[in-house]
Structure 1
Amino acid sequence: MFYSFFNNLFQSFILKTETYYLQNSFNASLRPTSLAAVIAKLDQLKSDDTVEKVTLGREVVLVNQQDQQEYRVELVYPPRHKPRAGRYSVISDLGVSLLGRSKGEYAEVNILGKPVLFMVKDIALSKK
């Protein structure tokens, strides 16, 4: 029982730490080649007016494959990055991994050196 209590406490701490990191990670240190790739991907997706791919202004429902928790996020330009409001920059770790994904695809984000897998459950135009 003692072990179970501390194990649950530790798992809760890990989940909260991962959530904090995800909400506060802002990958401002992208290498120029990585940043150029993000810009090229955005340019390519700009001409695609369907809602089938994750890009700027799309509301995305994600499912964390580790704990099955759902998240609703919107990809935005860096100045509008407000994770607590569900808005993530396209150059954040999460934004880079989601960009261009389709419904049903998986995106992997490294959180504190550990890969976390998200599935894109739904994509819609942002209502904001």
Structure 2
Amino acid sequence: MPLTAAQQHRYEVWASNLLFLTFAISTAVGLLVALGYLPRHRGPAQYGYLSMYTAAPPLLVVYYYIRRGARVAKILFLLLYAFVLLQIISGWRPLTSYATPAGIVHLLAQQGLQIGACVLLFLSFRTPTKPI
């Protein structure tokens, strides 16, 4: 079935929504950790939250431009996420380094949503057909 420009834009909007949701989840988990509702991570995991807050503004801009359909933003996100997946697969930070079940659930939710966004972005790269 040919892809229309409207369908392509829907994929971009859905991908952007998933990415903004991952940011909201990370922010909520960070707030719950700061308020003491969730236990703090030990060791290098503490620096994960620091890097999230320094990387968040540029990523939010990339998410916005994905929503707008910017091809460069989509490619940039896919390249950055490929780097993250390589780190996860290579064992840079295994699941056992997360001290709590909430940390593991947070990681799996983030990765699931971001993989879903990647699939939608790949679908959005298909060339739309012109309406007859």
Q: Under TM normalisation by the shorter chain, which class is it? A: 0.3 to 0.5
The TM-score, its normalising length taken from structure 2, stands at: 0.33
The TM-score, its normalising length taken from structure 1, stands at: 0.34
Larger Cα-atom Rg:
2
Structure having the higher strand fraction is: 1
Structure having the higher helix fraction is: 2
Q: Report 1 or 2 for greater relative contact order, CA contacts < 8 Å, sequence distance ≥ 6.
A: 2
